[in-house]
Structure 1
Amino acid sequence: MATVELRFSALPEHVRTARLVAAAVARRAGVDEAVLDEVRLAVGEACTRAVGLHQSSGVSAPVRVSLIEEEKQFSIEVGDEAPHAVPGDRSSGAGDADVEVEEDDMGLAVISGLVDDVEVTAGENGGLIRMTWPTTPSVAVVP
């Protein structure tokens, strides 16, 4: 199992770099060429979400991206350290919280539309989005 890890400051300008690295590593791992645009878009959405959560929560820790090459699959994990509200708990400013929850839900809906295998976990210490794609083994050409 090969893993590439990225950590970047929670700034929007770093999302593009994360997208490019993710697509390059996915290509090398054997993700179908036709799916690479979806990989790029999903990673961009997940990283943008993490950057927004860090900025709105005042978290200075970096956003974490792990690119994991396993047998027959390639996974990308985007982690944040922003506190996530427990469902049903909207004790803070209701108006702003509702807007943030709607934006968060929209981002997750976009990711779910792009990736068939998505896991989202969140808690008071941060969250993680794990996206997985199948890979095709590279075929060695024998002369």
Structure 2
Amino acid sequence: MATVELRFSALPEHVRTARLVAAAVARRAGVDESVLDEVRLAVGEACSRAVGLHQRAGLTGAVRVALTDQEKRFLIEVEDEAGPLAVPGPGALDDADEDALGLAVISGLVEDLEVSAGVSGGLVRMSWPVSVDALAR
């Protein structure tokens, strides 16, 4: 199991880099080519959401992205330092609510999605299957 970790300042201009790195690592891990756009878009949404949470809360810490090549799955975790702000409460899905909208977009792109928040930060965990051909290498 190999993991690539990326940490970046909570600035919108770093989201593009996270998307590019995620797509490259996913391709190398064996994620099917037809799914790479979904990986790129989901990571972009999750990172944009984390950046927004940091900026609105006045946090200066880094956003962490971990890309893990597991045996049969490719796992991506995007972690922020916003704590309880990271999971919208019931009924929060309002068109004006960027956080909930971002999560709705991600959930449309990722079948295996988990969103959680603790005292120290929030976590968006997403995974995709690795193609059968990649497992043979």
Matched, 1:104 2:99: yes
Q: State the one-letter code of the partner of 1:41.
A: L
Distance 1:110 1:87 in 2: 14
Q: State the one-letter code of the partner of 1:74.
A: F
Aligned Cα root-mean-square deviation (Å): 2.3
Q: State the one-letter code of the partner of 1:127.
A: G
Gaps of 5+ in 1: 90-96
Distance 2:100 2:127 in 1: 20
Distance 1:21 1:110 in 2: 20
Report if aligned partners of 2:88, 2:99 keep a CA contact under 8 Å in 1. no
Do the aligned partners of residues 101 and 66 (structure 1) sit closer, same or farther apart at CA in structure 2, a change above 3 Å counting?
A: farther
Gaps of 5+ in 2: none
Partner of 1:132: 127
Q: TM (normalized to structure 2)? A: 0.89
Partner of 2:40: 40
The CA deviation at 1:88 is 5.7
Task: State percent identity of aligned pairs.
Answer: 71
SS for the counterpart of 2:65 is strand
Higher Rg: 1
Report if aligned partners of 1:81, 1:126 keep a CA contact under 8 Å in 2. yes
Q: State the one-letter code of the partner of 2:99.
A: D
Distance 1:36 1:87 in 2: 27
Matched, 1:83 2:78: no
Query: Any runs of at least 4 consecutive aligned residues in structure 1 with deviations exceeding 3 A, and if so which?
Result: 85-89, 97-101
Distance 2:22 2:81 in 1: 20
Q: TM (normalized to structure 1)? A: 0.85
